[in-house]
A and B are shown apart, each in its own frame.
Chain A
Amino acid sequence: MKLAIVPSYTGNDEAPPALHPLPPIGEVPKLEQWAAESAAYGKAMETLCEFLLHSAKTVEQKSQGLNVTFLALAAGAKSQGEQIQKIVSAGSELVVDDERFSIQDFLNVFSQTLTNLMEKIVFISEMSVRMAYYLDEATTHLGALESFVQKINKINKETNLLALNATIEAARFGEEGKGFGVVAGEVKSVSQSIQTLTFDMNSHIGAVASSLRGSYEVTQKLATTDMSEQILARERLDRMLLGLIEQNRHFSTVMQGAIDDSNKISQNISQAVIGMQFQDRNSQEIGNVVNVLRKLGEHLNAVPSIEEDEVVLRRMIEAIGGQFSLSELRKIFLSKMLGKDVAKDVAKEEGNASSSGAKNDEAIELF
């Protein structure tokens, strides 16, 4: 019986050749041929099943790895949400001397303080103008006092002169004028007392005038201090405060959005974790298929081979290997089936093939 001899896979990227060329019309493949080929597939079956189980295991391991990563992500998202919540709380409240104040409280205290200040400014203005008016009056009366004292002085001088004249007249009348002379002397002494008094009055009036001038200067300074600019500043402060409140409200809205986003992330991660559980089913399904394939392998191995030609068997195994497009997988398959040394020879032969073909192989594997 002649078996079809199959060339080794050359490594170019055409579709791998069929195990045997298509029979010309009319020829029917012999049962013996088919049996020999089935035996080769039977021998390869266990290796193929190992490959399947290995894939399933890889999926399981990678899934577990992803699971761990997702749990870490979920923890991160939760922590982020908590941090943002803290910022929102801190932003809407102040703690001063163990007392909590909201931004609204601050606005109220601030506003009330400014209103009280305005009241006091108006009050001080009123009082300083009243004081200015009183000092004006006092200055006028003082002026009057000063002129009265001058008049008293003048009258006193005249009185003194009269007393002098009287003394002279009295002296002229000698003994009869003595009494008159005494009276004149008394008048003179009274006049001197009045002069001392007016002198004292003058010095006191001078002191009062000086104090009054001092008070008037101070009052002027007080009353001319214009606080209208400070009053107008209130308007600007009020506007800034409202801006602060608006900004705070906007800030809270944005932060709340960020918290909502964090929560969505957590939910999506939970979904992903649930989705990952497919791998369990996947393992089971593959396990099921492998069981059936092993049975198929047993079935194919049960076919008795008419000839077990080593060379022919090797060539058939190589042909099956040629159906792998991943060169790594092909190498592992061949080394399991034929032994490591034999696989090396096959690889050498493949290495003699065109280099561009080999490169395409690598490209696929990288993907």
Chain B
Amino acid sequence: MDMRINTGQGRCEIFFSGKFTFADNAAFKEVLALVENPEIRSFVLDFAQVEFIDSSVLGMLMILRNEGGNHGQSVTIRGAQGQVDKVMRLSQFDTKFTMI
């Protein structure tokens, strides 16, 4: 997958695109590292351009949520559609994250 990061006014927006699988876990580590930045108060993860996720991505997002929670940061998932939206909703991500 491809990743584009925008940070500003305490909000960190990350745009993902393509197929998102375990192979991308190293790239995701960059996002996790941003948790340590005290200026960031919220994360918005944009999945509008993501066509497929595997179950390991669910794990990655949970790590971000838990680590972010430890630092008082919120995580929002935006624009999930198709297979991505189905997998997230069947895993009850709508109760764990703000999904818009």
Contacts and interface: CB of A to CB of B under 8 A. Distances in A.
Interface of A: 115, 118-119, 121-130, 132-133, 136, 220, 223-228, 231-232, 234-235
Contact of B25 (A118, A129, A228, A231): A129
A128 B25 CA distance: 11
Contacts of A235: 86, 90
A133 B54 contact: no
Interface centre among A129, A133, A223, A231 (most CB of B within 10 A): A129
Chain B's interface size range is 20 to 34
B9 to A, nearest CB: 29
A232 B62 contact: no
A296 B96 CA distance: 106
A228 B87 contact: yes
Interface of B: 21-23, 25-26, 29, 32, 53-60, 62-63, 66, 83, 86-87, 90-92
Contact of A231 (B26, B55, B56, B66): B55
A129 B59 contact: yes
B25 A121 contact: no
A262 B85 CA distance: 52
A232 to B, nearest CB: 6
Nearest to A238: B90
A231 B21 contact: no
A122 B29 contact: no
A115 B92 contact: yes
Contacts of A128: 56, 59
A129 B83 contact: no
Contacts of A223: 22, 25, 56, 59
Contacts of A133: 25, 29, 32
Given A128-B59, A226-B56, A227-B55, A232 B83 contact: yes
B90 A130 contact: no
A101 to B, nearest CB: 25
A129 B63 contact: yes
Contacts of B29: 133
A230 to B, nearest CB: 8
A125 B53 CA distance: 12
Which 9 residue pairs across A and B have the least CB separation, nearest first?
A125-B59, A226-B54, A227-B55, A129-B59, A126-B59, A126-B62, A224-B22, A125-B58, A223-B22
B86 A121 contact: no
Nearest to B96: A122
Given A223-B56, A231-B90, A232-B83, A122 B62 contact: yes
Contacts of B62: 122-123, 125-126
A126 B91 CA distance: 13
Contacts of B25: 129, 132-133, 223
Contacts of B54: 224, 226-228
A268 B100 CA distance: 64
Contact of B63 (A124, A126, A234): A126
